[in-house]
Structure formats: structure tokens, C-alpha cells
Amino acid sequence: MNSDNNYIVRFTLNERIQHFLLFISITLLLISGFALKYADTSFGQFFIRLEGGFQARGIIHRIGAVILIFVTFYHFIYVLFTKRGQEQFREMFLTVKDWTDFKQSLSYRLGSTNEPPLYGRYSYRQKLQYWLVAIATFSMEITGLMLWFHNESIAILSHHILNIVYVIHSYESTLIFTLIVIWHLYDIHIASHFPMDPVWLTGKISIKRLKKEHPLEYFKLFGREGKK
């Protein structure tokens, strides 16, 4: 916390690096993955050329995978064994309040109420995005590893299972693109802080913004009648 210049640290350097690695790996994975998925289109062909050919595309995809797996493991350890990580993880739990927040936000947006829901450290949308990323990452990592080591996984499981795994891996990518790239970018970065919310890089959030966007966290930190 740094109240001297009206900022508090929302995300520590450690968390920002995790987010950055996640961002880098997902970008690499989506670009090299879609290049293969849409290889029959000019879009796919352009990206395969851009990535230095078919083999290089595969290597880039695997580099992205290794970064993602690393950050997943790191996040696990962070959440399980550090105090800060445990606290943040607990903040991510979905509660009944998130459901009521969702309903209130809906009626606020529709205009039937002028009271926006009061969010804590993480809004219901941020929590939902976290969990969706978590599920997506897990399933993509498992299916991806099976496809990476396809000789072994076919020998153990059968070609039929690998066909299913391939379809999941391939089709889930579009879903992830929708959720992470479009929704997350719009909701967190573009919509209110065009072109992006600088918090992901600086980690700092102004107290004024904190009071507006995360009032319950603000009250917790500074009390109901806190400064400003």
C-alpha cells in the first residue's frame, strides 16, 4: 500500500509476471494454433508463413505450451503455499453475492435501477473469467499434452480417444478465444480504460478508482468514512 501518492498496489510484481506469462503464452498458442486450425484459409496460410513454416509453427505452439504449463505450476504453488496467494485465491471463490451482483448489474444496465452493484476486490465477472481461464487452461493442457505425445497416448488409450481429444482441443480454442480475448479484453481493458487498463503493467490502482470500481475493498481498507 502506498497512500502517499494516492495509489495502492493492486497486483504485486509476482502476480503481474504471472499474468504477463499467461498473456504471452496464450497469444503464442492462439496464433500458432489457429494457423493450423484454419490452414486451408488464406488467414491460416499467412500465419504459418509468418511463423516460419509448418515445423516452426509447431515449435512455437510447444514453446507457448511450456510457458503455460510453467505458469500453471507456478500459480498452483503460489496459491497453495504463499500467504498472499492464499488470500487472493480465497477472494476468487464464487458466493451468493456474485449472483445478486449479476442480477443487479443486469437491471442497472437495462436502466431499471441507477444503483450499480458494489464490488469487492473482484467483481463477479472477474471471478468468472478467472475460473473460466483456469478450466480452459487445464483442459487445453491435458488434451494438448496428449496430442503432443500422441504416439504414447494412442498406444495407451486408442486412436478413437485421441480423435475425441483432438476435437476438444481444436474446438475449445475458439471458445477460449471468445472468452479470453474478446470478453476479457473488452470487459477489463477496452470498455472502461481504452485502450487498456494500465494496472496489468504498473500494478497500481488509484484510490479514486478503487473507491469507484471496488468500493467494498476500499471500505475494508480505509473504513466507511475513509479519506476521499
For another protein, the closer CB: 70 or 99: 99
Interface with another protein (CB under 8 A), residue from 30, 48, 180, 205: 48
Decide whether 3 or 41 has the Cβ nearer to another protein: 41
Q: Which is nearer to another protein, 88 or 153 (CB)?
A: 153
The three three-digit cell numbers of residue 89, written as one number: 485465491
* 86 is an interface residue for another protein by CB under 8 A: no
Contact 29, 22 (CB under 8 A): no
- Closer residue to another protein, CB minimum distance, 88 or 173: 173
17 or 191: CB nearest another protein: 191
In this chain, which of 4, 13, 40, 112 binds another protein, going by CB under 8 A? Answer: 40
Any contact of residue 80 with another protein (CB under 8 A)?
no
Within residues 108-137, the interface with another protein by CB under 8 A covers: 108-111
Distances (CA, A) of 171 to 24, 39, 65, 174, 175: 21, 15, 17, 6, 7
Report residue 52 CA to chain centroid gap: 28
Q: Which of 150, 143, 170 lies closest to 69, judged by CA?
A: 143
One residue of 66, 77, 142, 175 binding another protein per CB under 8 A: 175
Q: Rule CB under 8 A: is residue 225 a binding residue for another protein?
A: no
Work out whether 196 is an interface residue with another protein (CB under 8 A): no
Task: Confirm or reject binding of residue 162 to another protein (CB under 8 A).
Answer: yes
Give the binding-site size for another protein (rule: CB under 8 A): 39
What residues make contact with another protein under the rule CB under 8 A? Answer: 36, 39-40, 48, 53-55, 106, 108-111, 150-152, 154-164, 167-168, 171-172, 174-175, 178-179, 182-183, 186-187, 191
